[in-house]
Structure formats: C-alpha cells, structure tokens
Chain A
Amino acid sequence: MDLGKILENMMAKPALLKRIGWVTLASLVVIDFFLPRPYLHFFWDSLPGFSAVYGFVSCILIIVVSKALGKLWLLKPEDYYDD
C-alpha cells in the first residue's frame, strides 16, 4: 500500500475537500438547534451555535493579537542573542 499515493490523490481534489468542509460546518450548526441541553452552567449554554462563533472568534483573536504583539514588541531578528 502506497500511503503517499493515496494522500496525494486526496489532496488533488481541493474543490471537493472545500465542499465537504462547508457542508460539515453548516450541518454542525444546524444539528446544534435540535440537541438537548442537559446542563446550563452559563447563559451561553442555551444558545445553539455559540461554540461555532466562539471558536471562530477565538481563532481570529489569537492570530491578530499575537501577530500584533510580535510585530510591535516580541519578534526580533534571529541573531538577536548573538554578539
């Protein structure tokens, strides 16, 4: 079995992968409207699709804030500690 070949064939269909991705994302949110809410610790536990929004916002926030910190302050040239 040539695993590399199988993976390569999968990667060769980006349009299909993209469509599968979108359908999965949409169905997750739709399903969430019909699921039971066994426990409510926070107010957002009752909101369907909350975790989708929170996951997306977290991702963007992490990237933007970290990149900004890096650019303004933390990132240095690779030879910063040599002298």
Chain B
Amino acid sequence: MIEWLHPSLFLILGAPFVTLFRGRARQAWIVFLPVMAFVTVLMMSPGTYGVFDFMGLELVFGRVDKLSLAFAHVFTIAATIGAIYALHVEDDSQHIAALIYAGAAIGVTFAGDLLALFLFWEIMAFASVWLIWARRVKASDEAGYRYLLVHAAGGMLLLAGILFHYTDTGSTAFVAMQPGGPAFWLILAGFLLNAAVPPLHAWLADAYPEATITGAVFLSAFTTKTAVYTLIRGYPGTEILIWLGTIMALYGVVYAVLANDIRRLLAYHIISQVGYMVAGVGIGTVMALNGAVAHAYTHILYKGLLFMGAGAVIHMTSRSKLTELGGIYRWMPWTFVLYMIGGFSISAFPLFSGFVSKSMVVDAAAQSHLSWIWLGLTMASAGTFLHTGLKLPYFTFLGKDCGARPTDPPLNMLVAMGIAAFLCVFIGVYPSWLYAMLPDPVAYEPYTATHVVWALQILLFTGLGFFMLLKHVGGEPKISMDTDWLYRKASRLVMRLINGVIAPAEEAVARFYRHVLLGNVFVGRKGLWLDQNVIDGAVNGVGALVLRWAALMRQLQTGQIQHYALLMMVGSLVLLSLYWLF
C-alpha cells in the first residue's frame, strides 16, 4: 500500500501520454488525469510525506494540512473544469502544457521546502507560456516572450532569496518568514511578482488576453493563486501587504474602465480580486487569513467561469473588443446567463460565492478598524460590479446590435461553464461547505439582514451610476499604457537615443581625434606593421577556429525561443523524474 501519492504525478507524468490517444480516448484521458488528482486530494489525510534527502538538504514534496488541501482541492477542480472546456481542442501540445501547468501549481501547494517549491514554480512558468504561444499569432509570440522574461526574472529573485535564506538560517523549510534581511524581501518580491502586485503586475494583463481561448481559463486559475498561497504560508500579517492589496484592488478597477478587449478587462479584475487576498494576508487575523483562502477558492471558480464565457464569445464571433460586440444575448443565451452567474459571483451578490468570501476580508478590515482599507476595498467592490457585472456584459451581450449571429458554443464548453456556475451558486447558498475547508474554524455568518441590505445597496446604487453614465462608459478602440511600457517602449527609446544622439557624437569625436593625431602618423606606421604581421595572424587563427566551432553549433540552434523553452522544460522534467526514480 502506498502511503501517499502526489496528485501532480498524474498530471505531470500523465500529460505526455495525451499524444498516444485520438478521438474519444484522448478526451477521456484528458479528463481522467485531473479527476484522478482530485480523488487523490480527497483521500489525503494531513501529515508530512514525500521527504527526500538531496545533497544534505531536505526536500519535502508532501506537506499536507488544511491550508494546502484547500488550495489543492480547488486547483484540481479548476483543472478538471478547464480540461472539459478544452476537449474540442485538437492541438496536443496545449493539453500537455495545461495539465503540466496545473500539476506544477498543485506541486507548489504541497511543497514543504523552498527548493521543491522553486522547482514547481519554474515548471509553472515554462508550461504556462505554451498556453500563450499556442495561439500562434505574432501578438501572442511577443506577449509570451515578455511573459517568460518577466517570470524568469521573478524566479531569479526567488532563487536568490532562497540562497540568502539558506545561508542565514541553514534551512530551506518553507515556514513563516522572519522579517528583515535580504532573504525576506527577495522571496517576497518573487511571490508578489506572481501574485501580480503592482508595479510587478503588467505581465498578467499583457499576456492573458493573448493566450489561447482555453489556455486563458487555466492561466486565470493557477499562477496568481499559488502566489497567494505562498504569501499566506510565508508572510501572514506583513503590514505592507494590507496597503499593496488595497492599492491593487483599486488599480485593477481603474484599468478595467479603460479596457476594450474583454479578456484584458477580466485580466485587470484578476489583479483587483487578488488585491483582496493580499490585503487579507496583510491583516493577518484568523478571519482575514480564512477570508483570503475562501476568496482564492471562490475566485478560481468564478474567474474561470468569466474567462470561459468571454472565451466562448471570442470562439463563436472571432471578436474580442467591446467596440465590435453587442446585442448577441439573443444568439448565445446560455453563454450570457452562465457568464452573468460568474458576474454576480465576482460582484459578491447575496446567494453567489463572492458574497460569502469577499466579505470575510472586508469585515476583517472593519474588525481591525482599518477605515481607509475598508473604504478602498468597498469602493473596489463597486468597481468590480461596474465592469464585470455591468460594463462587459452590457456592451458584449446587450446594447447596440453588432450584427454578428453566433450560436452558443460546443456542448463541452457549456458543460464546463455549467459546472463552474453550479459551484458558484452552491457555495453562495451553502457557505458552510466552503468554510469547513478553511484552515481555522469559522465563526462568521454572512447572511444577516443588515449585511445583505448593505451589500445590495452598494451594488445596486453602483448600477444606478452605471446607467446614468451609460454614454461614457463604453469601450474605446485604444490601449492603455501600464508598467510594461518600461520594457516595451522605454527600452526602444533608449536604443533610439543611442542610435540618434550618442553614436553620431561618438563619430564626431573619433573624426576629431583622427585629424589631430594625423601628425603622429609616423609612429603609427611602425605600430601598423606589428599589428598586421603579428597580432592579426594570431587573431585570424583563433577566428578560423571559432568559425568552425560556430558552424557546428549552429546546427543545434533553431533560433526559436519556443524550442529553447521546450528544451529547458524537458530538461527540468527529466531531472525531476530521475529524482523520483532514485
């Protein structure tokens, strides 16, 4: 009898076998893997498993407690829903990348030490970028490349932090970090980058809207929420997170006003929603931490649902901009209704999932008497309903008829959306099911008359404001600058500065020197002879050798960043499996 089975084994090791099957068998395999992972999580009991000794370091692959179980539970559900949503996709590489990505995210939640965590962290980055590239258009190639570079930098911060942590403490165990010192801040920066906390957030809104339709559903679930998990584990009660989280919640709202692409609008609302979780971690009370976990749980489901709804619209109309959509509710009624369930959930309407989770964080802020935080988070709630519940559906499904006559998407997509929608309502109606999974016992009752009326007032009066300003809130055919400007535009401006100003200046100086130094030409002649006969000979010899080697090496270089990424991913997987074998 095996004592403990890592659920990621199914997903990561089972994923490549997708290529062996065709048709129904392949579809069955794609759903079978996450379902098996889910069952494994259900059967798990708390404890520490999968401990290996690696060059004197202790690697822990199976720290199982209520916190890791809650995240693994929703991750495996999200992977199952995402797999069903993607069943119609023919491209094997997308299925493989999505399953490995989900497996790596689950690997992070069970990692009990920083090295195991780092390993899965990197697999996540390399697997997820495929879901962006697989769309195979120029915009997604470029966005994926930027995504990978940013995450590689984030991984470096994390690794550097881990090294500092090890030299400081002699241990790589992943427990709550001790404040102060470079390790604390470097690891925090690595986590914050994946949690998309401004100013380290631009990769998310840049890349997610360029991903494949089914890939974006997976992306919306895992990267930011594993980061929230690591923050809960490593940085509970870190005060700066309260402020960062609140700023983040409002930041996403501002950019959602400006968004025209429907998935970019949703991407900015991931940032906004994760803000509640980050703020909850910062507040650090039992209720706030429970709230952060609960909100991550509900968020994964309703955000997946929203991305599935938006994806269905793009899949059926080939349009993704608010300015090009409108009036299609009549043709995609199920998509519209299911999307709205996601919209009501994220907006925290009573009887929907967001209501029972978000209010835990907001009430935790009230209990700690953080008035500005409370006001900021409540304002962001109004903004959430304003965009995800009103602006996006109004200008996509209602409003002016855009002329498109789509139908509802294929059945598998509707089924996946239906499962997510069911869970959103189920949790909203029966919150004790969710509360029982939280790390600490919950003494919180969301359904009091005062609270329900309070929430409805906020939301419906936001609606009033929306309809009053209806003429001004539609999308504009423009894009908004964000902090990715620094590496997308500023770098180019620097190059232009070099080409336009510095290079000519250098040439002018060089010309000046040539004229002045012409007088010393006799000395120069002697030097020239030495140069031509001795130094050049040596240099040419070395040069020829290098050329021959380079010709050999060139055979191995395809110049495709995708190939390099695949190579690195395969390499890390080989190392990982070797490790498991011995």
Contact = CB atoms under 8 A, between A and B. Distances in A.
A56 B465 contact: yes
Contact of A75 (B258, B330, B469, B488): B258
Interface in A7-54: 7-8, 11, 21, 24-25, 28-29, 31-32, 35-39, 41-42, 49, 51-54
- A52, A59, A77 — which one has the most chain B CB atoms within 10 A of its CB? A59
A83 B334 CA distance: 41
A39 B574 CA distance: 57
B254 A60 contact: no
A32 B257 CA distance: 30
- A54, A55, A69, A75 — which one has the most chain B CB atoms within 10 A of its CB? A55
A35 B453 contact: yes
A78 B478 contact: yes
Given A3-B337, A32-B453, A58-B378, A63 B469 contact: yes
B577 interface: no
Nearest to B142: A81
B548 interface: no
B379 A38 contact: no
B257 A38 contact: no
Interface in A52-82: 52-56, 58-63, 65-67, 69-70, 73-78, 80-81
B448 A49 contact: no
Interface in B317-364: 329-331, 333-334, 336-337
B45 interface: no
Nearest to A62: B383
B525 interface: no
Given A7-B330, A55-B462, A49 B379 contact: no
A59 B382 contact: yes
Contacts of A28: 453, 456-457, 460
B109 to A, nearest CB: 33
B260 to A, nearest CB: 9
Interface residues of A, number: 47
Contacts of B477: 78
B364 to A, nearest CB: 11
Contacts of B534: none
B366 A41 contact: yes
Nearest to B477: A78
A21 B468 CA distance: 13
Q: What class of interface size applies to chain B in its complex with A?
A: 35 or more
Contacts of A70: 257-258, 476, 478, 480
A41 B254 CA distance: 28
Contact of B450 (A3, A36, A63): A36
Nearest to A60: B465
Contacts of B371: 42
Contact of B460 (A25, A38, A53): A25
B312 to A, nearest CB: 15
Given A60-B469, A62-B254, A76-B478, A81 B488 contact: yes
B173 interface: no
A66 B250 CA distance: 10
Contacts of A76: 478-481
Given A35-B453, A51-B458, A66 B254 contact: yes
B329 A32 contact: no
A60 B461 CA distance: 10
B568 interface: no
CB-CB nearest 7 A-B residue pairs: A59-B465, A66-B257, A55-B458, A58-B382, A55-B461, A3-B333, A4-B333
Interface of A: 3-4, 6-8, 11, 21, 24-25, 28-29, 31-32, 35-39, 41-42, 49, 51-56, 58-63, 65-67, 69-70, 73-78, 80-81, 83
Given A41-B369, A67-B257, A73-B481, 15 more contacts: A3-B337, A28-B456, A36-B449, A41-B367, A42-B366, A54-B458, A58-B379, A58-B383, A58-B458, A62-B386, A67-B472, A69-B254, A74-B255, A78-B477, A78-B478
